[in-house]
Amino acid sequence: MTTTAPTTTTVLDATDVTMRFGGLTAVRSVDLTVNSGEIVGLIGPNGAGKTTFFNCLTGLYVPTEGKVSYKGTVLPPKPHLVTQAGIARTFQNIRLFANMTVLENVLVGRHTRTKEGLWSALLRLPGFKRAEEASRERAMELLEFTGLAAKADHLARNLPYGEQRKLEIARALASEPGLLLLDEPTAGMNPQETRAAEELIFAIRDKGIAVLVIEHDIRFIMNLCDRVAVLVQGEKIVEGPAEVVQADERVIAAYLGTPFEGAPGQEEAAEVAAAEAHSTTEGDDK
């Protein structure tokens, strides 16, 4: 039964996830799997329910129906337990601990992977110093990895925007996740920063961490993702490789709308364009 392809295991398996707020169904029976070593994209127009779906995955919301399991075990509906299980996330609007230093932010991310409690801290038991040092070392490694090591002692609030995004990723990685959920990691970034983010996400994938990413930037997601799922009005309409999704009529319709009856064909459109060009040149002459 040995296959040539590396054994891919399912990291995240969301089946039939539905989230209702009162009468509003924000997410309607969405199935999604993420396999190890994969980067999966989740796209959709504004208000499609992407972030709501994310919150269902991370335990921030308890799904009305359906279940989410991570590596075969059903996830408890508490954010800190989800993180402990091995899913880390970033936020769409950056949520760093603004008045802590960069290093402290990452150290907080280590919370679930360390055990030293209050007694250990008060009595400075022998394990305490060792655990602190190990945490610090690991945090510095992550800062090196994301290129923030030089700013370890700066306050998080004083970092420029792009670096705050990076720090959020470093903080999430500190919890040693098997799956990283990124909520619009390139929102508000310029093309260079976007490219850097892309490389960072590839590097994270190469560390053996599966990535699920929400994004608006279609070009970014098409470069990045092995598989893309499209969410429209709370429903998953298509899932597949980037090219397939890009060519799908329903996706185009969702983003650009469907042509209506008597809509201008290509010829009419060309005519209109020509007429406009003509009138502007006339205007310049006067």
Partner 1 sequence: MTTRTPTTDATAKAATAPAPPIVPLPPAAARAVTVAGSAVAFVGTFLAWTWTDEFPGNLTVTGYPGGLQVLTLVGALLTLLFVLSGYGVRGLGWLTPGGTNSPVLLTALGVLGTTGYAMGAISQELGGLVNLEPGAWVSGIGALVAVIGALGLPADQPYDADEPHPGLWGRIRHSLTAPEPARAKDLPSWAEILIIAAGFGIGLYVFAYGIGTEYSELFVGFLIMAAFGFTAVTRAGLLRRLSALTAKHRNVTLAAAFVAAICFPFTQSNDQFALIGANILIFATVALGLNVVVGLAGLLDLGYVAFLGVGAYAAALVSGSPQSSIGVHFPFWAAVLTGALASLIFGVVIGAPTLRLRGDYLAIVTLGFGEIFRITMNNLNGNSGPDVTNGSNGIPNIPDLKVLGFDLGVPHDVLGHELTRSGNYYLLMLLFTAVVVMVFRRSAESRIGRAWVAIREDETAATAMGINGFRLKLLAFALGACLAGLAGTVQAHVSYSVTPEQYQFAGSVPPNSAFLLAAVILGGMGTISGPLIGAALLYLIPAKLQFMAEYQLLLFGAALMLLMRFRPEGLVADRRKQLEFHDTGQLDVPDDKPLPDGATGVAKAGA
Contact residues toward partner 1 (CB under 8 A) are 58, 60, 78-80, 83-84, 88-89, 91, 95-100, 104, 107-112, 114, 116-118, 120-122, 124, 128, 131-132, 135, 151, 154-155, 157-160, 171-172, 175
User: Is the Cβ of residue 1 or residue 118 nearer to partner 1 in the bound state?
Assistant: 118
N-term to C-term CA, the chain: 79
Q: How far is the CB of 162 from partner 1 (least distance, A)?
A: 12
Q: How far is the CB of 236 from partner 1 (least distance, A)?
A: 24
User: Is the Cβ of residue 60 or residue 242 nearer to partner 1 in the bound state?
Assistant: 60
Closest CA to 61 of 49, 44, 71, 72: 49
Q: How far is the CB of 111 from partner 1 (least distance, A)?
A: 5
User: Is the Cβ of residue 144 or residue 243 nearer to partner 1 in the bound state?
Assistant: 144
Cβ distance 258 to 270 under 8 Å? no
User: Is the Cβ of residue 116 or residue 141 nearer to partner 1 in the bound state?
Assistant: 116
User: Is the Cβ of residue 175 or residue 194 nearer to partner 1 in the bound state?
Assistant: 175
How many CA atoms within 13 Å lie on the side-chain side of 78?
A: 5
User: Is the Cβ of residue 100 or residue 237 nearer to partner 1 in the bound state?
Assistant: 100
User: Is the Cβ of residue 172 or residue 228 nearer to partner 1 in the bound state?
Assistant: 172
φ, ψ at 182 (rounded to 5°)? -115, 120
Q: How far is the CB of 153 from partner 1 (least distance, A)?
A: 9
Q: How far is the CB of 116 from partner 1 (least distance, A)?
A: 5
Q: How far is the CB of 182 from partner 1 (least distance, A)?
A: 13
Q: How far is the CB of 47 from partner 1 (least distance, A)?
A: 21
